């Protein structure tokens, strides 16, 4: 995660986001996430950010801290306490959509951040006990570490992911790969968490992985397991930890409240795994049954969490860095400071307007916040200092201009911009690893600063530039391979780094128009497609025209491009609802009804507002009156629940 406003979703992230089928413009969302500025979001944007950050968090690549995520949840609760997103377990979004029902529902936990909230929970427990005539003195509370791993359920033969709490995925392969139950425990102990030894992570895995969430994803990965992770499994450093077996403190509620701090501390340090709180739960079955659950959490269980670590750190200097787009970002170099286990020495400031207005200069003190394993961000400026605002581009010395909150270098030939454009190109192609920043910088010194020029280099050129013979040969091989290996046309186009033409938008455009035809599109034609606002469309047309020459220089070198299937041809032909007439009614849980209607149309169906004899399907969400359903059935219309409808779409 970066706090820079140039933050862009990478291709894997976009692939996950695509699965969410959000009907929102990603650019402002990307910007909000990049700046960590969520104040002025509209409700749909807020929900989209929650869905995106949740999906990426579940996939092992969190973008924001848990604290920030929880703050966004609070915000949504504030604006719309009944929003469906708040009512259900935050789902894992899985690339492969095949799911199976879980043997038992898996819920999330309610959360408390203060002792006071814990006291209130205890009061609710006591009230429930009284209602079922259980003596308060008999109530026991079990306190366990809240493992921060990957939730799973083991029924003895199959291991499931939590999924959406009702349906998960079969990940038994983790056991096939050698995953053990902690302490050689038995299989079939129900819910638990896949976790990684903290000390093993620090000693061995931290060289290969940024955080243990990435590793959890690797353990259950469908394809090949990473070799370092395989070794960690074999070394017993990754295990499945059933909650039944977990170290615990169990006692009466009076002792709990009296010794709360020391009990929490003892349990917090009980295991060598990442934890993000402690879990408190009632053990009495009668009280549990009486308290029951909401759709999201058990009322007899609560998580106690503490806020993140923060530190006030002195700024040594602020250095400007010019990006591909000409935007100059301020990077604060800090007095090295330890913060939840890592030494921090630099942080990106959102933009130069902030440097200017908030006085982020040498000698300023900023508050850094870090929760869990996510890169820290500057939360606020504690002590201001005179800021230093660059007048000239650090790379080409051009005079910088203010554009909105940013200082910009307007020189299209700026070396930093050119270098970063090349780096972006090769990084986005993603099929060669030779052309990183160091190599590009060197090429640039020798005047090679356009993509097609790189492809025209010979082995001898590379040697002349000071690369070793073996390296030179390797670089040539990589260039050849990057043209010969098949690559998606959307990826190829995204590699040119046009403003507003990230991978997601490229793919969307290419689903409707062929690659070369994009250069002739008008703003109106783009606006006609779903998901493009006028402003984006204008930027896209301008951007495409600005790279047209450079694009064809590269394109004409001959790449092995695979065409994005056109939506109209492919999906409609295969769609199970093509030609059907569908009525959607009621509240949908997994997305807005309008989005479902739109999608249905894209898949070749017709949608209608009311049921007639011609209607094929009535898709009924929540809160639909029985009479409406009966009436539809009487007309011979097939009535589907939201889930049944989604299942229908995924059959082929
Ligand atoms: N950073 C992000 O972008 C981001 C995104 C989504 C969610 N989150 C974090 O995840 C939280 C919600 O996620 P959630 O619903 O998966 O988890 P949760 O925090 O609500 O906890 C519920 C889970 O805790 C697990 N658990 C661990 N130890 C346990 C124990 N000893 N006993 C019982 N259960 C135990 C269970 O698997 C259960 O499913 C949010 O509060 C947020 O902090 C962060
Ligand atoms: Zn410049």
Annotated ligand binding at 137? The verdict is no
Q: Is the CB of 279 under 6 A from ligand 1?
A: yes
Say what the pLDDT of residue 255 is.
Answer: 95
Q: Is the CB of 348 under 6 A from ligand 1?
A: no
Ligand nearest to the CA of 85: 1
154-196 per-position pLDDT tens digit: 999 999 999 888 889 999 999 999 999 998 889 999 999 999 9
Give, in order, the Cα–Cα distances in Å from 624 to each of 22, 615, 621, 631, 632: 24, 17, 7, 12, 12
548 is catalytic: no
Say what the pLDDT of residue 366 is.
Answer: 92
- In ligand 1, the atom with minimum distance to the C-alpha of 246 is 31
* Distance from residue 126's CA to the centre of ligand 1 (Å): 25
* Distance from residue 29's CA to the centre of ligand 1 (Å): 24
Partner residues linked to 583 by β-bridges: 608, 618
Q: Is the CB of 53 under 6 A from ligand 1?
A: yes
CA 367, CA 344: separation in Å to the nearest integer?
12
- List, in order of start, the domains of the chain with CATH numbers: 11-87 (no CATH), 101-304 (3.30.470.30), 309-408 (2.40.50.140), 415-562 (no CATH), 573-649 (3.40.50.10190)
Please choose from 151, 246, 308 the residue to mutate so as to test ligand 1's pocket, defined by most ligand atoms within 8 A of CB.
151
Please choose from 109, 144, 241, 242 the residue to mutate so as to test ligand 1's pocket, defined by most ligand atoms within 8 A of CB.
109
* Distance from residue 460's CA to the centre of ligand 2 (Å): 31
* Distance from residue 109's CA to the centre of ligand 1 (Å): 7
Residue in 105, 120, 140, 146 annotated catalytic: 146
Nearest Cα neighbor of 201 from 192, 212, 193, 190 is 212
- In ligand 1, the atom with minimum distance to the C-alpha of 192 is 37
Say what the pLDDT of residue 636 is.
Answer: 87
> How high is the ipTM of this complex?
0.93
Q: Is the CB of 216 under 6 A from ligand 1?
A: no
SS (H, E, C) 481-497: HHHHCCEEHHHHHHCCC
Q: Which residues of the chain have pLDDT under 70?
A: 1-6, 94-97, 307-308, 340-342, 370-375, 530-531, 568-573, 652
Residue nearest to atom 36 of ligand 1 (CA): 151
Phi and psi torsions of 215, nearest 5°: -70, -40
Q: Is the CB of 108 under 6 A from ligand 1?
A: yes
Ligand nearest to the CA of 392: 2
Contacting residues for 563 by C-beta, under 8 A, at least 6 apart: 489, 510, 514, 515
Q: Is the CB of 106 under 6 A from ligand 1?
A: yes
Q: Is the CB of 65 under 6 A from ligand 1?
A: yes
- Helix extents (H) in 430-555: 437-445, 451-456, 459-464, 469-484, 489-494, 503-510, 523-527, 534-555
Tokens of 575: 């769609």
Ligand nearest to the CA of 190: 1
Largest pairwise CA distance in the chain:
88
Q: Is the CB of 151 under 6 A from ligand 1?
A: yes
Surrounding residues of ion ligand 2, Cβ less than 5 A: 322, 393, 395-396, 398, 409, 411, 414
3-state secondary structure of 38: coil
Ligand nearest to the CA of 106: 1
CB-CB contact of 115 with 36 (8 Å): no
Question: Is the pTM for the entire model greater than 0.95?
Answer: no
Say what the pLDDT of residue 127 is.
Answer: 96
Q: Is the CB of 246 under 6 A from ligand 1?
A: yes
Residue nearest to atom 2 of ligand 1 (CA): 66
* Distance from residue 482's CA to the centre of ligand 2 (Å): 29
Strands (E), 148-224: 150-154, 159-161, 167-168, 180-181, 190-196
CB-CB contact of 434 with 478 (8 Å): yes
CA 184, CA 470: separation in Å to the nearest integer?
49
Say what the pLDDT of residue 194 is.
Answer: 96
CB-CB contact of 595 with 21 (8 Å): yes
């Amino acid at each position: 995660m970066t706090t820079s406003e140039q933050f862009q979703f990478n291709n894997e992230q976009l692939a996950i986001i695509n699965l969410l089928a959000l009907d929102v413009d990603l650019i402002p969302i990307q910007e909000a996430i990049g700046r960590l500025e969520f104040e002025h979001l509209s409700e749909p944007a807020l929900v989209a950010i929650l869905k995106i950050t949740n999906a990426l968090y579940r996939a092992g690549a969190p973008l924001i801290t848990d604290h920030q995520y929880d703050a966004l949840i609070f915000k949504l609760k504030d604006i719309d306490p009944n929003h469906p997103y708040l009512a259900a377990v935050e789902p894992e979004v899985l690339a492969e959509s095949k799911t199976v029902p879980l043997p038992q529902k898996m819920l999330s936990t309610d959360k408390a951040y203060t002792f006071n909230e814990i006291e209130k929970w205890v009061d609710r427990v006591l009230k429930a006990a009284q209602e079922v005539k259980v003596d308060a003195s008999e109530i026991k509370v079990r306190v366990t570490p809240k493992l921060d791993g990957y939730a799973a359920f083991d029924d003895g033969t199959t291991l499931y992911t939590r999924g959406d709490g009702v349906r998960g995925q079969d990940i038994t392969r983790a056991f096939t790969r050698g995953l053990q139950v902690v302490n050689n425990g038995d299989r079939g102990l129900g819910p638990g968490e896949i976790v990684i030894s903290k000390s093993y992570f620090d000693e061995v895995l931290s060289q290969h992985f940024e955080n243990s969430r990435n590793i959890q994803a690797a353990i259950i990965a469908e394809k090949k397991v990473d070799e370092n992770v395989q070794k960690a499994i074999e070394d017993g450093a990754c295990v499945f930890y059933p909650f039944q077996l977990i170290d615990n403190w169990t006692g009466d509620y009076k002792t709990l409240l009296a010794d709360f701090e020391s009990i929490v501390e003892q349990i917090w340090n009980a295991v060598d795994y990442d934890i993000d709180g402690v879990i408190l739960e009632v053990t009495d079955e009668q009280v549990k049954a009486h308290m029951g659950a909401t759709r999201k959490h058990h009322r007899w269980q609560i998580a106690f969490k503490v806020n993140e670590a923060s530190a006030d750190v002195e700024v040594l200097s602020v250095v400007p860095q010019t990006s591909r787009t000409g935007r100059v970002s301020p990077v604060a170099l800090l007095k090295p400071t330890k913060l939840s286990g890592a030494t921090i020495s630099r942080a990106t400031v959102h933009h130069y307007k902030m440097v200017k207005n908030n006085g982020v200069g040498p000698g300023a003190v900023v508050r850094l916040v870090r929760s869990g394993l996510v890169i820290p961000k500057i939360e606020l400026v504690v002590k201001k200092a005179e800021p230093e605002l660059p007048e000239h581009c650090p790379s080409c010395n051009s005079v910088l201009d203010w554009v909105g909150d940013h200082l910009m270098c307007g020189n299209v030939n700026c070396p930093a911009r050119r270098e970063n454009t090349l780096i972006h190109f090769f990084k986005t192609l993603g099929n060669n690893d030779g052309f990183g920043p160091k190599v590009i910088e060197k090429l640039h010194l020798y005047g090679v600063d356009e993509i097609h020029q790189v492809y025209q280099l010979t082995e001898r050129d590379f040697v002349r530039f000071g690369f070793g013979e073996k390296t030179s040969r390797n670089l040539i091989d990589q260039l050849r391979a990057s043209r010969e290996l098949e690559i998606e046309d959307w990826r190829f186009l995204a590699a040119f780094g046009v403003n507003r033409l990230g991978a997601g938008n490229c793919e969307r455009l290419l689903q409707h128009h062929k690659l070369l035809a994009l250069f002739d599109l008008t703003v109106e034609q783009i606006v006609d497609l779903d998901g493009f606002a006028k402003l984006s469309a204008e930027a896209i047309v301008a951007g495409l025209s600005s790279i047209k020459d450079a694009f064809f220089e590269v394109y004409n070198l001959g790449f092995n491009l695979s065409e994005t299937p056109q939506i109209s041809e492919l999906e409609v032909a295969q769609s199970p609802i093509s030609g059907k007439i569908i009525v959607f009614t009621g509240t949908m849980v997994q997305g807005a009804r309008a989005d479902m209607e739109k999608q249905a149309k894209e898949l070749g169906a017709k949608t209608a507002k009311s049921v007639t004899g011609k209607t094929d399907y009535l898709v009924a969400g929540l809160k639909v009156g029985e009479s409406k359903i009966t009436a539809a059935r009487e007309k011979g219309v097939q009535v589907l629940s939201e889930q049944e409808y989604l299942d229908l779409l995924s059959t082929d």
